[in-house]
Amino acid sequence: MKKYLCLIFTFALTTNSVFPQTVDEYFYTGEAYFNEGRFNEARIIVEEAIRLYPEDIRLHLALGSIYFHLNEFNLSLYCYSNAIELDNSFAEAYNMRARIHRTLGNYDKALADYNMAISLEPENDVYYRQRGLFIAFGFGNFQLALADFNMAIAKNILNYENFHARGAFFASFGRYEFALADLNEAINLNN
């Protein structure tokens, strides 16, 4: 039955009789499937959208995320690289590609992408936090990781995730007093 439904779904897509017509309709339909955990349906929608609208960077990023959730890491990497080719000044594309490089064990490439995301958006606390986590647990460099966590908090002192990450970092290195203070602050910001 599932195979039959997939064939109907694919036929409807190729005939454009039932499915979205504009790039935004494709994007939001794919996003809805993605949010429901229906990654294969989301993939079909977004692949069709890319066929029709190959220059829309959102679609390449969305497809990269879909492939990531399908554990198709090389395809995910390909999609994020396509997004960067379309717009090499889009920091989030580098950030997302860094995650894939990290997953694939390409640590030098991951670090280069985190660095590029930060250089493009130096006020974005998320990139510092994510690079800090990568440096802490990928390289075990306490000082560099701590500097990134501190920078993330300096950029956005109201983001509980920054305190949570630094608290987990402190706990993993046996600095429990500092960990407790940061985790308490994270709870105070978002209980």
Mean pLDDT by 10 residues, the chain (191 residues): 42 49 90 95 96 95 96 96 96 96 94 98 97 90 95 97 96 94 96 88
pLDDT score at 2? 46
Check: CB of residue 186 under 8 Å from CB of residue 170.
Answer: no
Residues in contact with 114: Cβ distance below 8 Å, sequence separation at least 6, in sequence order = 94, 95, 98, 127, 130, 131, 134
pLDDT score at 114? 97
Q: Which amino acid is at 20?
A: P
From the number of C-beta atoms within 10 Å of its C-beta (0-12, 13-18, 19+), residue 86 rates as middle
pTM of the model: 0.82
Place of tokens 């494709």: 26
CATH class of 1-106: mainly alpha
pLDDT score at 19? 61
Q: How far apart are alpha carbons 86 and 82 in whole angstroms?
A: 6
Report CA-CA distances (Å) from 74 to 18, 42, 53, 102.
31, 18, 22, 12
Q: How far apart are alpha carbons 161 and 157 in whole angstroms?
A: 10
Q: How far apart are alpha carbons 42 and 49 in whole angstroms?
A: 11
Measured in whole angstroms, the distance separating CA 63 from the mean position of its chain's CA atoms is 11
Place of tokens 């390449």: 60
The domain locations on the chain are 1-106, 123-191
1-106 and 123-191, same CATH topology: yes
CATH number of 123-191: 1.25.40.10
Place of tokens 């997302």: 96
Q: Which helix (H) or strand (E) holds 131?
A: helix 125-134
Residues in contact with 89: Cβ distance below 8 Å, sequence separation at least 6, in sequence order = 120
Report CA-CA distances (Å) from 69 to 51, 66, 166.
21, 5, 26
